[in-house]
Structure 1
Amino acid sequence: MKVKISQIANLPTKFGNFKIQAFKEGHKEHLVIFTDPMPDIPTVRVHSECLTGDTLGSKKCDCGEQLKFALDTISNSGGMVIYLRQEGRNIGLLNKVNAYALQDSGYDTITANHQLGFSADERTYEIVEFILEHFGIKKIKLLTNNPKKIESLKNVEIVQRLPVKVEPNPYNEEYLKIKREKLGHLL
C-alpha cells in the first residue's frame, strides 16, 4: 500500500487539544486526530466521513453525533479518531444524495444503495491497520457499534469494544432500526 503521510500539527478544538496527521491513499486523504501523549491502550474511533451529519448537522443519521461523542470521549481518555474519507458508506456524495432521495420516497438506507447498484456498505478498512501500525499501536479499545469494523481489524488486539451512545430522533429512528436489524449494529 502506497501512502503519503503529512507532518503532525496541533488542532485545538472545542473538545480539547489534539494533534492531527493526514494519510493520502490514492485519491483519498484520511485524517487522524489524536491525543498526545497516547495511552498504552488508546481508545480508537474509526469514523467514515459524513458531510451531511458531521458538518451540516443532519438528523437523518447519527454520524455527526457519533463523531462528537468520539471526540469528547477520546479527549478525556486518550486515543485517536481515524477519519476516513468514505462518504455515504463509500458511494460518494452524489450517490449519497441520490440515496437520500430514494429514502425520501420510502426506501430504507440499504435498499436505496441497492437501487443505485451498490452493496449495503462499500467501505473498506485496510488503511486503518496501516495507520495503527504507523503509530505502533498493537492493542486498542474500539469505540464502535459496527461489527464489520471489529471483524476488519485483524492485526491489532481489540481489548474492549466501547459502545457509541447517541440519542435517536424522529428523523433517524427508522435508519437506526435498519442499521441494527439488517447490518447487525450493536445499538
Structure 2
Amino acid sequence: MTVSDGVSGESVRPAGAERVVDVRLSTMHGEFLAVGYLDRESGDEQMVLVYGDAVSDGALTRVHSECLTGDVFGSKHCECGDQLSAALHAIVTEGRGILVYLRGHEGRGIGLLAKLQAMKLQAEGLDTVEANLALGFPADMRDYRVAAEILHDLGVRSVRLLSNNPLKREALLRHGIKITEQVPLLIPPREENLAYLWTKRERLDHFLPHLDGAAD
C-alpha cells in the first residue's frame, strides 16, 4: 500500500515492518516458524525464524546480517555462515529462541557488488574497514530499525542477544529492545579469516577474546 506525499504527488511507502505470512519450516537444525515481513520503508523482504515459546521475554535472539558469500556459498573469508549455523543450533539447544535474518545488510550495508569490490581491495592489502572507506562508504552502515520493529511485532520486549557486536546491542537498545544479556557467538578462526577477525576486534570493538591464542 502506498500513499501520496501531498506535495509532489509521488507515492510514499509508509514506514514499518508489515507481517505478511507465517509457515512451518523444517531445517537441518529443527522445525521453526518462519514469519515473513515487508519493510515498508526500504521495500526489503525480511524473515524471522521462531523456535519454541520465544515470545516470552529473555529468549535467546540472533539478529543476523545477510551474507550471500558466507551464508550460501560457505566463504572462508568471513565467519558468517558458521555463525548462522551455530546460532540456529544454540537456539534449538536452548529450547526456544529467535533468529532475525536481515536482508539489505550485505557487506555491513554497502550491498553485494560493493562488498565484492571491497573484498578485492582486501586481497590487495587493505583491511575491511579501510576497504569500505576507500570505496566511499562508512565502516559499518547497517540499520537495525526493522529488526526491532519485527521483535516488537512478535511481542518481544527483552532478549538475550547472541552477538559479539557492541554496536548491534546499542542500536537495538535505542529502538526499545531491552537486552538482559549479551551472549558471545565465538567461531574458531581459520587462516583465511584471521586478519578479518582481528580487524573486527581491534577496529570495530567486537568481543572476540578467543583470538588471543591465534597468531596475528
Q: Does 1:119 align with 2:128?
A: no
Deviations 1:44-93 (A, max 9, x none): 00100000000000000011111011010111211111000111111110
Deviations 1:76-112 (A, max 9, x none): 2111110001111111100000001101111100100
- Rounded to whole Å, the distance in 2 between the matches of 1:141 and 1:69 is 15
Mean alpha-carbon deviation: is it higher for 155-164 or for 142-151?
Answer: 155-164
Residue 39 of structure 1: CA displacement? Answer: 5.8
Residue 3 of structure 1: CA displacement? Answer: 2.9
- Rounded to whole Å, the distance in 1 between the matches of 2:150 and 2:160 is 15
In the alignment, residue 75 of structure 1 is paired with which amino acid?
V
Asked whether the equivalents of residues 145 and 163 of structure 1 are also in contact (C-alpha less than 8 Å), the reply is: yes
Q: For 1:65-144, what aligned pairs fall within 5 Å after superposition?
A: 65-77=82-94, 78-85=96-103, 86-144=105-163
The aligned residue for residue 4 of structure 1 is: 18
In the alignment, residue 199 of structure 2 is paired with which amino acid?
I
The aligned residue for residue 176 of structure 1 is: 197
Q: Identify which of structures 1 and 2 has the higher relative contact order when contacts are C-alpha pairs closer than 8 Å and 6+ apart.
A: 1
Asked whether the equivalents of residues 46 and 84 of structure 1 are also in contact (C-alpha less than 8 Å), the reply is: yes
What is the percentage of aligned positions where both structures have the same residue?
41
Where do 5+ consecutive residues of structure 2 fail to align? 1-14, 209-216
The structure 1 segments of at least 4 consecutive aligned residues displaced by more than 6 Å after TM superposition are none
How many residue pairs align between the two structures? 187
Q: Which has the larger radius of gyration?
A: 2
